[in-house]
Structure 1
Amino acid sequence: MSKLKVNKKHKDKLFRKIFRKKKDLLALYNALNGTAYTNEEDLEITTLEDVVYMGMKNDTSFIIDHIMNLYEHQSSFSPNLPLRGLLYFADLYRAHIEPIKRRLYTETPLLIPTPQYFVFYNGTKDQPERQILHLSDLFIQKEKAPALECTAVMLNINLGCNRELMEKCSLLKQYAQFIACIRDFINKGCRREDAVIKAVDTCIKNGILSDLLRKNKAEVMNMILTEFDEEDYREFLREEARDSGLTEGRAQGIAEGVQAIISICQDFHLSYEDTLKKLTEKLSISSEKAASYLEQYWNHDESTV
């Protein structure tokens, strides 16, 4: 089993990099909304650069035609996306009205852009081509009429899904082709690093994201491998939560605590066996469970064994 890594540096996702230019983001907006805007200067980027999730900056937001758009790419499904969207929109609106916040207390309506939230999903679990997630589904008391709502439109962008959208936005289709190419090499038995290298070379040869891949080969490889690590880490936390009956947040806290203990033991040059003993003592867990943690987090590069 490969060792899971928690990424501590704030890294962009490839999806975000592909649609960083205004003209490409505008093309995606047009494809989603059936519009035909051509002036990229009509688009105002509002992305909050300091908002980080799992060590990665993964949101893109912008305003055009009085619509505040939030685009998020995800490789794993979460019913909590509307809640995350609500918190993100709150920060966006706070920044938007900052110059005129005193008008909140006047009798004149303070008109604000209409929110629109799209989530682009390309995980390996089966999901519908399109589904709408509601914040109200998370409310404990469902009999009461909620005072607010937030909806996330999640689109499956795996290759073969949402074909009409893909044909309207070439970059989105090429991104799906690139990810599918990586997974194809992995399914054929390639290690992840080798699969990414082969996929990059194959896509360059076939004109798929060729300019981006040719100019930023090393950076793209790092981004993709980081995303795979993130996906593995999330799955690990979900498994821990299922096994122990804990919530994902609680499981994450335990995982981070385990990592800290192992890291300290290695800093003091304790052996693998002594670290195993420390885990069983400190966490009151079986040696088998401790061994499974070590298999995940033991840094063999620093091992004294």
Structure 2
Amino acid sequence: MSTANRKYKDSVFVDLFSEDEKAKENFLSLYNALHGTNLQMSCPVENIRLDNVMYMNIINDVSCLVDGKIIVLAEHQSTINENMPLRFLEYIARLYEKLQAPTDRYLRKLSKIPTPEFYVFYNGKEDYPESILLKLSDAFITKPEQVPLELTVQVLNINTDKANKILTFCKPLEEYSLFVEEVRNQTQLDPENGFTNAVKICIEKGILKEYLMRKSREVINMLVAEYDYDTDIAVQREESLRIGIQQGIQQGIEQGIEQGIEQGIEQGIKRGFSDGVIKTALAFKKMGIPIAKIAEGTGLTQAEIEKL
């Protein structure tokens, strides 16, 4: 990604619900849709984002203090990261440090804190349920009957084909989802001019019309940054997968050829990513590892591996 694009830290999603001049109106619309409330513009909303923290770690965020709650929103346009509860745990701890006076934690009287809520809005291309709950406790190595620490993240699929009811109650979110779909369509048809074409078409269709007319150039720059960042993350994941394969093979060699091949495949997959099984198999095939062993380690059939 170019340095110039890195300066656009916000995504269109974040700008709409956190930074734009109409962000408060959009945010309250989304809050009311999530909670079945009717908070008005007179309700205080404080933007408490931690700059760069989430963006530099795959996602961007909206964090607001409203109605005695900390609402943390995040967006995913690619595969859902199931480690989001842990990421949000780290994030909310930093937010509480920011909101509380350092002396508060040492008071004898209980110091009240805003209630946190965490949401991820998914509009990627992979099939995903309309709504799902991710739990921090699902990551625990051992899980006692009474979980000592829990954090839940509600993931909502906002692709229009899922007909998620939240889109019915929040027009800005619905139009944003339609905008993302148009961006995808236009970039497939014309990679070079897709962003510009998508903005023009959405204005013509009345999708985020007022917003896009005001900020078309900024929006295009944010889209360029977002898509460059997605590519950057994909490269990092590929590199992580490669390192995982190499480390797995090295451990296998040290423990013997036969055992090493099996453990190398296993370690490569464990340290890589579940959606990289085919790439893992292909890499081992190029290394000359027997197809039968690759099939055993990856779950692919020998016929599938031979076609790679």
Change in Cα spacing, 1:136 to 1:204, as seen in structure 2 (3 Å) is same
Q: Spell out the pairing of 1:152-163 with structure 2 (5 A cutoff).
A: 152-163=153-164
- Provide structure 1 residue ranges, at least 5 long, that are not aligned to the other structure: 250-285, 287-305
For residue 190 of structure 1, what is the aligned residue in structure 2? 190
For residue 9 of structure 1, what is the aligned residue in structure 2? 7
For residue 256 of structure 1, what is the aligned residue in structure 2? none
1:106 maps onto 2:107 in alignment: yes
Change in Cα spacing, 1:18 to 1:42, as seen in structure 2 (3 Å) is same
1:201 maps onto 2:200 in alignment: yes
Instruction: Compute the TM-score of the two structures, normalised by the length of structure 1.
Output: 0.72
Change in Cα spacing, 1:10 to 1:145, as seen in structure 2 (3 Å) is farther
Residue by residue over 1:100-129, the C-alpha shift from the partner in whole angstroms, topping out at 9 and shown as x without a partner, is x43433332212111100111111221111
Q: Spell out the pairing of 1:1-305 with structure 2 (5 A cutoff).
A: 8-9=6-7, 11-20=9-18, 21-54=23-56, 58-76=60-78, 77-98=80-101, 101-143=102-144, 145-187=146-188, 189-191=189-191, 193-243=192-242, 244=245, 245=268, 247=271
3-state secondary structure, aligned to 2:230: helix
Aligned residues: 244
The answer to which structure, 1 or 2, has the higher relative contact order (CA under 8 A, 6+ apart) is: 1
Alignment-mate amino acid for residue 136 of structure 1: S
**C-alpha separation between the residues in 1 aligned to 2:186 and 2:108?**
62
**C-alpha separation between the residues in 2 aligned to 1:10 and 1:144?**
45
CA contact (8 A) 2:24 2:41 kept: no
**C-alpha separation between the residues in 1 aligned to 2:64 and 2:190?**
39
3-state secondary structure, aligned to 1:131: strand
CA contact (8 A) 2:123 2:159 kept: yes
**C-alpha separation between the residues in 1 aligned to 2:129 and 2:59?**
26
CA contact (8 A) 2:76 2:120 kept: yes
Alignment-mate amino acid for residue 190 of structure 1: D
Change in Cα spacing, 1:18 to 1:237, as seen in structure 2 (3 Å) is same
- Provide structure 2 residue ranges, at least 5 long, that are not aligned to the other structure: 246-267, 274-286, 288-308
3-state secondary structure, aligned to 1:112: coil
Residue by residue over 1:215-240, the C-alpha shift from the partner in whole angstroms, topping out at 9 and shown as x without a partner, is 21121111112212222232333344
3-state secondary structure, aligned to 1:218: helix
3-state secondary structure, aligned to 1:73: strand
Identity %: 35
3-state secondary structure, aligned to 1:19: helix
Alignment-mate amino acid for residue 90 of structure 1: A
Instruction: Compute the TM-score of the two structures, normalised by the length of structure 2.
Output: 0.71
RMSD: 2.6
**C-alpha separation between the residues in 2 aligned to 1:143 and 1:52?**
30
Change in Cα spacing, 1:230 to 1:108, as seen in structure 2 (3 Å) is same
**C-alpha separation between the residues in 1 aligned to 2:2 and 2:125?**
20
CA contact (8 A) 1:12 1:57 kept: no
3-state secondary structure, aligned to 2:160: coil
- Runs of 4+ with >6 A deviation: none
Alignment-mate amino acid for residue 199 of structure 1: A
3-state secondary structure, aligned to 2:150: coil
**C-alpha separation between the residues in 1 aligned to 2:145 and 2:56?**
34
**C-alpha separation between the residues in 1 aligned to 2:35 and 2:240?**
39
CA contact (8 A) 2:8 2:221 kept: no
**C-alpha separation between the residues in 1 aligned to 2:82 and 2:230?**
16
